[in-house]
Amino acid sequence: MHPHISTFYLASVRVRAAELLPWIVALAAFFLFPDFLSLGARILIYILLVLSLDLVIGYAGIVTLGHAAFFGIGAYTAGILSAHFGIKDPLLQLAAAGTVACLVGFGTGLYVLRTSGLTLIMLTLAISALCLEVANKATSWTGGADGLSGVTIAPILGYFRFDLWGKTAYLYSLAVLFVVWWLVRTLLNSPFGASLAGIRDNRTRMEGIGALVNRRLVQVYSISAGIAGLAGALLTQTNQFVGLNALGFELSGEILVMLVLGGVGRLYGAFIGTAAYLIAQDQLAKKFPEDWYLGVGILLVGVTMFARGGLLGALDSLTARLRRALKL
């Protein structure tokens, strides 16, 4: 399922031209589609979330079904800070949401990552069900099933007000995504990233060269949880509302679909898969909600049967085939 990068220590880390493409597209979209900026912000936020999922599933090889929990924790942290504590500064909320989610990721990671396989999957599921139940029942804090309203956000840096058209939200989300992308990219090219590849390739051997594998998995799990928390805070700030679905199992499933659609363990799979999924959903799901889910399901089954590399994987094998054809 994963593409394998074969070298870290001999790899060039210079930014390739193709890597600038997402940012060019994102900036161009800002000017070309001013009516779709709220969809655009949503896409950017989910890219951030799916990126964090890729870090865990694609790069650390931890199959989790509870990643939405961290997103939800970030979303509620930002929302509760605003609605109950009057802390309305978006950057402060962002930092708090990331920190809280990261800490919860660290705590649950220590606990969950001692196990593996089915037990691990079920533990992540159980913990996320636990979070959902807390959010559902602690109504005085979270608003329960009605959601948390009364969230107001101050202008960013005291200057950039969140506007009705979503311009600020879009650029703000884009900026956060850019910073996180750069950090993640750096992390993946670092010795730490190389050791993650080693763990995925042969965990026993990693222990055999003295690596404290478990500690490293907990680290990456916490980092990923923190990023998911940032995404959650962004969602709260752009919607000025938090609902229970920010925590649900369905969201965990959906972001997995986005990741797989784009390609697991490819960094840019998160960008392509999420954008493709959310744009298609925006166009189709309102008109044909049932058919949409049916189509996604069929697509997913098809991917597992025929195209495990996702869109980027298909692109890879297509270019490989073209290259071979041109040589002949």
Partner 1 sequence: MLLSEIVSVLFHGAAYGTILYVISVGLSVTMGLMGFANLAHGVFAMAGGYTLTTLMGWYGVPFPLALLAAFVGTAVIGLILERLLYSRLYDAGELVQVLLCIGLIFIAVALARIGFGAQAQRVALPGYLQGQVSILGRDFIAYRVFIIIFSALLITALWIVIERTRWGAIVRAAVDNGRMAQSIGINTAMVFTLTFMLGSGLAGLGGALGVDLLSVQPTYPFEYLIYFLIVVALGGLGTVRGPFFAALLIGIGDTACKYWVPEFGSFFVFLAVTVILGLRPKGLFGTRA
Partner 2 sequence: MTPALEVKGLCRSFGALIVADHIDFQLERGARHALIGPNGAGKSTFVNLLAGRLRPDAGRILLDGQDITRLSAAHRVKRGIGRTFQTNTLFRHLAVLDNVALAIAERMGVSGQLFRAASAHQEVIEEARALLTMLNLMALEKTVVRDLPYGQQRLVEIAIALGLRPRVLILDEPAAGVPSHESYLIFDAISQMPADIAILFIEHDMDLVFRFARRITVLASGAILMEGTPKEVESDRKVREIYLGESRG
Nearer to partner 2, 10 or 325 (CB): 10
Out of 13, 27, 28, 294, name the contact with partner 1 by CB under 8 A. 294
Out of 300, 307, 314, 315, name the contact with partner 1 by CB under 8 A. 300
Can residue 251 be called a binding residue for partner 1 (CB under 8 A)? no
**Residue 198 binds which entry of partner 1, partner 2, none, CB below 5-8 Å type-dependent:** partner 2
- Please identify, among the stretches 4-12, 26-34, 167-175, 252-260, the one whose residues bind partner 2 according to the rule CB under 8 A: 4-12
- Angle subtended at Cα 211 by Cα 209 and Cα 216, rounded to the nearest 5 degrees: 155
Out of 91, 129, 211, 279, name the contact with partner 2 by CB under 8 A. 211
Strand partners, 148: 242
Smallest gap from Cβ 300 to partner 1, in A, equals 3
Of the candidates 167, 180, 163, the one whose C-alpha atom is nearest the C-alpha of residue 41 is: 167
Out of 118, 204, 325, 328, name the contact with partner 2 by CB under 8 A. 204
Can residue 319 be called a binding residue for partner 1 (CB under 8 A)? no
Out of 61, 72, 105, 193, name the contact with partner 2 by CB under 8 A. 193
210-217 contacts: CB < 8 A, separation 24 or more? 214/113, 214/114, 216/192, 217/60, 217/62, 217/109, 217/113
Nearer to partner 1, 65 or 228 (CB): 65
- Cβ neighbours, 10 Å, residue 269: 26
Smallest gap from Cβ 327 to partner 2, in A, equals 20
Can residue 4 be called a binding residue for partner 2 (CB under 8 A)? yes
Can residue 290 be called a binding residue for partner 1 (CB under 8 A)? yes
Give the C-alpha separation, 321 to 228, whole Å: 37
Can residue 133 be called a binding residue for partner 1 (CB under 8 A)? yes
- Please identify, among the stretches 127-135, 159-167, 186-194, 234-242, the one whose residues bind partner 1 according to the rule CB under 8 A: 127-135
Can residue 206 be called a binding residue for partner 2 (CB under 8 A)? yes
Q: Which two tokens stand for residue 143?
A: 């608003």
Site for partner 1 in 84-123 (CB under 8 A): 111-112, 114-115, 117-119, 121-123
Q: Which two tokens stand for residue 225?
A: 């949880």
Nearer to partner 2, 221 or 277 (CB): 221
Give the residues lining the site for partner 2 (CB under 8 A): 4, 6-13, 186-187, 189-195, 197-198, 201-202, 204-213, 216, 219
